[in-house]
Structures are given as structure tokens and as C-alpha cells.
Chain A
């Protein structure tokens, strides 16, 4: 999500693209958390809902950390 800032401020278009990408990733978190519980509730019981939320939380965390490590290696 992050554009490495050490290389200086990117051009305006690059900056906007990076900002948009970050924002979309964050919106997807919000959407999943908004609908996730309701969908889970329809599919199962309360425990299923909480499990789905926990898995989603750790999935996003895993993807975020993994992406950061991948970019750092490059």
C-alpha cells in the first residue's frame, strides 16, 4: 500500500494512483466488515459470525505484513 517515500515525492499522477490504491484496499476492509457479520449470521450462528470476523481480521493483517515484507525484499 505504501509508496516508499525515501525516493522523494512522486509525481502528481503517481501519487494519486498510489493514494487511490491504498484507499480501495481500505474500503474493501470496511465493506467486508460491514457485510461479513450479516452474511455469516444468515449462514450460521453467532459463533460463525465471530469466527468469520476474526479470520478476516487476521487475513488482512497477514496480507498487509506479507506485502510489506515482499516490497522490502524487492
Chain B
């Protein structure tokens, strides 16, 4: 990725570009910033991964082994926050930065300087989050949802977390404004909205969701901050406030956030499957409407995370039915992907393997989501490992597998070097097998009643926990293969990539040479 050279022949009219470290600090180029986002997210993925492996080490057998319960709570909290805000979301924005201008025929993002600022807000936020482990009282330990009263009564770590969330929220909002403006105003002549690649569509809708819900989270944590330090009682029952109110506001952000993390993945999968099935995407308009429907419905289902707080029966029924309704547009997407593959001339290179793995595992995650959408079932399974299994099937096998698929798909375009296919396939199979060893047993643990966020557990849960922990270490180690593959591509250790390495790919970025030139599409292409 960093192998993209500055093409000084195309620098006419641009200010002289710094080199070395300052190139990356001051860059306004969408490809450089995309690279920064992706590398940052990879780093944070490993930081969050280390926290996860510490959790799994503690849970390897019953009893307290290596951490105390308070620290365990901090681990689960920071693992969630880091993976969501530090790994998955920045990775999605990295893909957007690299791909959207190239896919719509634009020279760069609409607000190039703001793009730089959006990225460089993230490292300080990450330092605050990770650094909160070392402040008096330790890191935040109330879960990534930051529910009061724990978050109001906790130590300084919560303040660090609140400021980090503010900063990352501001970064996301600026990034979204940039993405929407770029897509709406800078498409190549002839590229109408309904001719846009699906990845661009999914990001357009994701960006709207972000702009709508990120300020709500920012508002919620601001209220939390004023409750902690300025004498307000928004969420303090003793002062007339309502702790459940925070849950409403948080999940008004939190549930769309799930779709913010999965919709760009849908877009990546929708690019890859037609390319490797060598057929156009089946039902393109219905895919667009399905994404829009998912986005709208995602704003109407927040209270399904709160079935046990004592909502009125009408509310329970409303949120249960609307949650189940989301299965309809999601089903449309899954069936359209399958129909695209049907009778296609399919080959199974690494991106396609991850895409098929995504469909298989995401569908399992979707089905378990339907299970916990049913109120009486959810009341039994709330806060058990069944829920942990469910959302990891959606976010790891969903978002993360799609990002791996996208990375393998576009690495030749980004670096100009073909990735090592053998290593790629090894990465896929190791990840696929170890992922299921880790998370499938959690369904059994949850159904048997094991609560989440506990460092110790009853003897009856020992066997499956041991299996899950072994799988987790395998899954963590298998990600090193991916790092190796990426390093080889960046160093140019591999076959030179042609402009279009995938014969079934038809979007605009494949009309550019590999690696993509530093300034792409200075003359807009015409789309027919």
C-alpha cells in the first residue's frame, strides 16, 4: 500500500509534496489516507485481539487465574470499544477512502484536508482509550455500552473513554460528510445513482446513518459527563433522572451502529461475488432498496436490546416485530448473492472464499439474531453467551471476513503486486475453522445459562470454554498469516498485478493501472 509512488509528472498545479513521515502526516490524498486508516485499524485489531486473548486465557478454566474481576471487566469493555471504534469502523472508512473516488471516477474526496483531519483525530483517541488502563481506578469497566450508574460512579477511566468516544465520533461525522458529498457531487459524467457500484451505495447509506446516530451518542456521553462532573442528574434516579433513558439513547445509536459496521461489508461482498461468478449482480435495484430498508428499519429497533428492563407489552411487541422485519431485506440480499452465483462460472480465489464464508457464517449470525428477537426467548438468553456468539458471528464472520475479502480483492490494485494465493487460502481456512471452534460452542454455553462478562464460572461450563479458548488462540495466530501476505504485497514480493486481475470485475478502478496512480481520474471518465 505504501508502495504507491508519488508521480511527480502529475504534480503540476499541486504544492510540493513532503516525503517520509511528513508525507503521511500532511497528506490529503485519498489513497494515502485510506492506507493510514487500514493500517491503523489493523494495529487496533491486534490490540483488541490481545485483550480478547487475555479474556479467553482467564476463561480457559473455572476459577480466577491471571486477572482480577475488576480488570476483567475493563478488558471486556475496552475489547468492545477498541474493536468497534478502533478496528471495524476505521477499516470500513479505509476501504471507502481508497475505493469510492476510484469507483465513481472522482479525482479525490470532496474535502481533502478534512479527510486528513478525520484520520489524525483517531490516534489520540486510541491513545486515550488504551492509556486509560494506566490511570487511577483503571480503564472503564461498565461494558462498551457505558450504562449508568456504573459509568457515572466509575473512576477516571470513564472520562478518558467519554473523550475518546467524542473524538472518534467527530472523526466519523467528518468522514461521513466527506463521503456523502463526494458521492453526491463528484461522480463521473453518466454515472447516475442507479449505476453506482453497490459498495458506493452501501457507503452512501452508511454515511447517512452515521451522521444521524453519532451525534446522538455524543449527546448521550456528554450528558454522562455532565452527570459525572457538573451536577446534572440526567441518568441519576436520586435527582429525578432515569438510568433507563441512557439505554434508550445509547441503543438509538447502538443498533444502527451494527448496520454501520455491516453495510459496507455487504457492499464489498456485492462487488466480489459478481466478479468471481462472472455474472452481473442479480437484482441490483432490489439490493439498493434492501440496503435502504435495512438502514431505515435499523433506526426503529433499538429497544430489542432492552427487553428485560420492563417495557410495556405494546413496546415489546412493536420492537420484536420490527426486528423480525429486518430479516426480509437481509434475506433479499442473501438470496440475490446466491442467485448471482447460480450457474455462474465460479472460481474460488481467496476473496471469493472469504465472501462465501461470509454468507455462510453471517446467515448463521442472522438466524440467531432472529432467535433473540423473540421476546420470551430473549428474556431467557439476555446477557448470556448465546448473545456473545450471535454478535461475533455477525461482526467477526460478517464485517471482518468481508474486510479480508475486500483486502485480498483490492490488494493487487493498491500495491501493484498479486498476493500469495496459497497463503491467502491458508489464512481463510485457518480463520474459518478456528472462528467456528471459538464461537460456535458459545451458543451451547449461552443456552446452558452461562452469563457474559464474568471472569469465573460454574464447573458445568468448563469443557466448552476450554474449546473456545483454544479456538481463540488459533484464530488470533491465523491473522498473522494475513499480516505476512500484506507485508509481501507492500514489499513487492510477488507477481506484478495487471490493471484488471479479475476478469469478472467491471467497476471503474480496474480501468486504472496497478498500482493505482497517485492522482487518479484527473480527467473524468464517461460512464455509459
Point out residues on A near B: beta carbons under 8 Å: 1-3, 5-9, 15, 18-19, 22-23, 26-27, 29-38, 41, 46, 49-50, 53, 57
CB within 8 Å for A5 and B189 given contacts A30-B211, A50-B252: yes
Contact of A7 among B189, B191, B244 (CB under 8 A): B189
CB within 8 Å for A34 and B181 given contacts A5-B188, A26-B176, A46-B245: no
Contact of B242 among A5, A8, A46 (CB under 8 A): A46
A22 touches B192 (CB 8 A): no
Nearest-CB residue, chain A, relative to B106: A9
A30 partner residues in chain B, CB cutoff 8 A: 173, 177, 211, 214-215
In Å, the complex CA distance between A37 and B217 comes to 10
In Å, the complex CA distance between A46 and B161 comes to 25
- Interface flag for B47 (CB, 8 Å): no
Can you name 30 A-B pairs with beta carbons within 8 Å? A3-B184, A3-B185, A5-B185, A5-B188, A5-B189, A5-B192, A6-B189, A7-B189, A8-B189, A9-B189, A15-B185, A18-B185, A22-B180, A22-B181, A26-B176, A26-B181, A30-B173, A30-B177, A30-B215, A31-B215, A32-B215, A34-B218, A34-B222, A38-B219, A41-B223, A41-B245, A46-B242, A50-B252, A53-B216, A57-B212
- Interface flag for B331 (CB, 8 Å): no
CB distance from B209 to the nearest CB of A (A): 11
- Interface flag for B524 (CB, 8 Å): yes
- Interface flag for B426 (CB, 8 Å): no
In Å, the complex CA distance between A70 and B183 comes to 20
Contact of B177 among A5, A27, A50 (CB under 8 A): A27
CB distance from A47 to the nearest CB of B (A): 9
B248 touches A46 (CB 8 A): yes
A8 partner residues in chain B, CB cutoff 8 A: 189, 524
CB within 8 Å for A38 and B222 given contacts A22-B181, A26-B181, A33-B215: yes
A29 partner residues in chain B, CB cutoff 8 A: 211-212, 215
In Å, the complex CA distance between A3 and B186 comes to 8
A31 partner residues in chain B, CB cutoff 8 A: 215
CB within 8 Å for A19 and B110 given contacts A6-B192, A9-B524, A26-B180: yes
B219 touches A1 (CB 8 A): no
- Interface flag for B136 (CB, 8 Å): no
Residue among B188, B215, B220, B252 with max Cβ neighbours from chain A (10 Å):
B215
- Interface flag for B187 (CB, 8 Å): yes
A37 touches B189 (CB 8 A): no
In Å, the complex CA distance between A57 and B212 comes to 8
B181 partner residues in chain A, CB cutoff 8 A: 19, 22-23, 26
Interface residue SS majority, chain B: helix
| Interface residue tally on B, bucketed by range | 35 or more
Q: Contacts A30-B173, A57-B299 known; list 7 others, CB within 8 Å.
A: A3-B184, A3-B185, A22-B184, A31-B215, A34-B218, A46-B245, A46-B248
CB distance from B254 to the nearest CB of A (A): 14
A35 partner residues in chain B, CB cutoff 8 A: 219
- Interface flag for B518 (CB, 8 Å): no
B184 touches A1 (CB 8 A): yes
CB within 8 Å for A2 and B176 given contacts A26-B211, A50-B248: no
CB distance from A24 to the nearest CB of B (A): 9
B111 touches A33 (CB 8 A): no
A27 partner residues in chain B, CB cutoff 8 A: 177
Nearest-CB residue, chain B, relative to A33: B215
- Interface flag for B231 (CB, 8 Å): no
- Interface flag for B249 (CB, 8 Å): yes
- Interface flag for B502 (CB, 8 Å): no
B189 touches A33 (CB 8 A): no
In Å, the complex CA distance between A9 and B188 comes to 7
* Binary per-residue interface labels of chain B (443-486) against chain A in the complex, 1 for a CB within 8 Å, 0 otherwise: 00000000000000000000000000000000000000000000
B188 partner residues in chain A, CB cutoff 8 A: 5, 9
A32 partner residues in chain B, CB cutoff 8 A: 215
B218 partner residues in chain A, CB cutoff 8 A: 34
Chain A to chain B: the 10 pairs with minimum beta-carbon distance, closest first: A34-B215, A33-B215, A2-B184, A5-B187, A22-B181, A19-B110, A30-B215, A26-B177, A46-B245, A18-B185
A23 partner residues in chain B, CB cutoff 8 A: 110-111, 177, 181
In Å, the complex CA distance between A63 and B413 comes to 39
In Å, the complex CA distance between A50 and B219 comes to 13
Within 8 A of A (CB), among B509-526: 524
* Binary per-residue interface labels of chain B (180-204) against chain A in the complex, 1 for a CB within 8 Å, 0 otherwise: 1100111111111000000000000
In Å, the complex CA distance between A18 and B110 comes to 10
In Å, the complex CA distance between A38 and B224 comes to 11
- Interface flag for B71 (CB, 8 Å): no
- Interface flag for B234 (CB, 8 Å): yes
Nearest-CB residue, chain B, relative to A68: B193
In Å, the complex CA distance between A21 and B58 comes to 53
